[in-house]
Amino acid sequence: MSDPKNILMLAGDGIGPEVMGEVKRIIDWSNAKGDTNFVVEEDLVGGACYDVHGVAVTDATMAKAHAADAVMLGAVGGPKWDDVARENRPEAGLLRLRKEMDLFANLRPAVVFDALIDASSLKPELIKGLDIMIVRELTAGVYFGQPRGEEIRDGVAYGFDTQIYSEPEIDRVARVAFDMAKKRGNRVCSVEKANVMESGVFWRKVVTKLHAADYADVELSHMYADNCAMQLVRAPAQFDVIVTDNLFGDILSDCAAMLTGSLGMLPSASLGTKDANGKTPAMYEPVHGSAPDIQGEGKANPLATILSYSMMLRYSFNLGQQADNVDQAVQNVLGQNLRTADIMSKGMTQLSTQDMGKAVVAELEKLG
Ligand code: IPM
Ligand code: MG
């Protein structure tokens, strides 16, 4: 059996614990089979942590996250914490994990499964075989830029944030995008608002320089973010890899998610820089939120979290074959017309969160 790997599971709020429960089911199965040797530790994040500790993530949990071989996160947030001060809001826990683990490269693949073509709001011919990789910068930009806040200027109240990027911050995420493209369709589309933003002009300059220096063999295009949103719903197949900043990446990845039929299908990986021991800090989470409106009803779709687990197998543990099996199991389950509520359509069989997890394990079992 391989060396044990430590996974920190932070299920979080809302449907987080339910969808994470289905990843636990898969890990239990593959540990029992001897395919993996994952040691899972669970802890609190988000509102669930705030309720116990008064903060959205504790220093002790941060230390565990740094020490773990990989972190899996469910979802954070909910109306229950609407009145909590921003620094302790559930989202602050997620942002602290991203920032302090320096997880600057957020990979958000938007892949359309054939069986789900009809669940998309777009015409089948537009999305058949769609496979886009959004590389979102995750530790800088307006999410973290200083100064930010509210103040009175000449008797008028203002609220403000700062959009700011350094050359190394753009360079390192663009490298990830170019390297990714080389393993896929060899095309990168860099997205900003160079027509109105200084930071957008700068972003384009840095990406162009890097491209000329190290990646001239990859096809590079530039696009304004508003046009990109439009092109994603007009002709999404034109994209291979999209690289963009933190805020545009947040918005465009929600948009890309809906191409695939449901936010409930989109996984993500957030990666940092390899350390001296060869470990790359990593956190895996579904793109969807905590969906408090359906919490505890067994309606949540666990597939985005299960596909995030597959990304963990691939990127953190180099278990490509096992990751392929998980992806294939998901595809097979969908091929058997099994659906959760969010992707339900006529003639399909609706399953609960738990039954969907069981169906995936049953398929894994068949795949051996
Ligand atoms: C995401 C989410 C987060 C973000 C929220 C929950 C802070 O929307 O991961 O896309 O804005 O980054
Ligand atoms: Mg988002």
User: Both 135 and 267 in a single domain?
Assistant: yes
**CB 250 near ligand 1, within 6 Å:** yes
In a domain, 178, yes or no: yes
C-alpha 160/C-alpha 149 separation (Å) is 6
Tell me which residue of 366, 358, 237 sits closest to 303, measured CA to CA. 358
Domain boundary among 207, 238, 271: 271
C-alpha 228/C-alpha 245 separation (Å) is 13
Q: Write down the mean pLDDT value for the chain.
A: 96
User: Both 100 and 182 in a single domain?
Assistant: no
DSSP 137: E
Distance 254 CA to ligand 2 centre (A): 6
Q: 143 an active-site residue?
A: yes
User: Which residue is closest in CA terms to ligand 1's atom 11?
Assistant: 250
CATH code where residue 43 lies: 3.40.718.10
Q: 3 an active-site residue?
A: no
User: Both 304 and 180 in a single domain?
Assistant: no
Peptide linkage before 147 cis (omega within 30 of 0): yes
149 DSSP β-pair partners: 160
Helix axes 353-367, 16-33, angle to 10 degrees: 20
pLDDT class of 1 with cuts at 50, 70, 90:
low
DSSP track, 167-178: HHHHHHHHHHHH
**CB 94 near ligand 1, within 6 Å:** yes
Instruction: Give the ligand whose atoms come closest to the C-alpha of residue 94.
Output: 1
In a domain, 276, yes or no: no
Q: 226 an active-site residue?
A: yes
Domain span at residue 197 reads 107-271
In a domain, 99, yes or no: yes
In a domain, 226, yes or no: yes
Q: Which of 15, 81, 250, 308 for mutating ligand 1's site (highest number of atoms within 8 Å of CB)?
A: 250
Q: 250 an active-site residue?
A: yes
Instruction: Give the ligand whose atoms come closest to the C-alpha of residue 246.
Output: 1
Contacts of 62 (CB under 8 A, 6+ apart): 96, 97, 100
Contacts of 83 (CB under 8 A, 6+ apart): none
User: Both 183 and 255 in a single domain?
Assistant: yes
User: Both 308 and 352 in a single domain?
Assistant: yes
Is the Cα torsion angle 27, 32, 34, 40 positive or negative in sign?
A: positive
Q: Which of 57, 86, 91 for mutating ligand 1's site (highest number of atoms within 8 Å of CB)?
A: 91
105 three-state secondary structure = strand
User: Both 135 and 48 in a single domain?
Assistant: no
In the predicted model, what is the mean pLDDT of residues 203-215?
98
User: Both 9 and 100 in a single domain?
Assistant: yes
Distance 250 CA to ligand 2 centre (A): 4
The DSSP H or E segment spanning 321 is: helix 320-335
**Least confident window among 73-82, 121-130, 206-215:** 121-130
Longest dimension (CA), the chain: 70
In the predicted model, what is the mean pLDDT of residues 295-308?
96
User: Both 143 and 242 in a single domain?
Assistant: yes
**Least confident window among 60-64, 125-129, 138-142:** 125-129
Q: 275 an active-site residue?
A: no
Domain boundary among 214, 239, 271: 271
In a domain, 27, yes or no: yes
Instruction: Give the ligand whose atoms come closest to the C-alpha of residue 291.
Output: 1
In a domain, 358, yes or no: yes
Helix axes 90-100, 59-67, angle to 10 degrees: 40
Tell me which residue of 267, 339, 347 sits closest to 307, measured CA to CA. 267
Query: How many independent structural domains does the chain possess?
Result: 2
Domain boundary among 240, 271, 302: 271
Q: What is the CA radius of gyration of the chain?
A: 20
The 10s digit of each residue's pLDDT in 84-111 is: 999 999 999 999 999 999 999 999 999 9
What share of the chain in percent tops pLDDT 90? Answer: 93
User: Both 128 and 259 in a single domain?
Assistant: yes
List the catalytic residue out of 28, 114, 226, 293.
226
User: Both 124 and 100 in a single domain?
Assistant: no
List the catalytic residue out of 250, 284, 299, 315.
250
User: Both 154 and 258 in a single domain?
Assistant: yes
User: Which residue is closest in CA terms to ligand 1's atom 5?
Assistant: 91
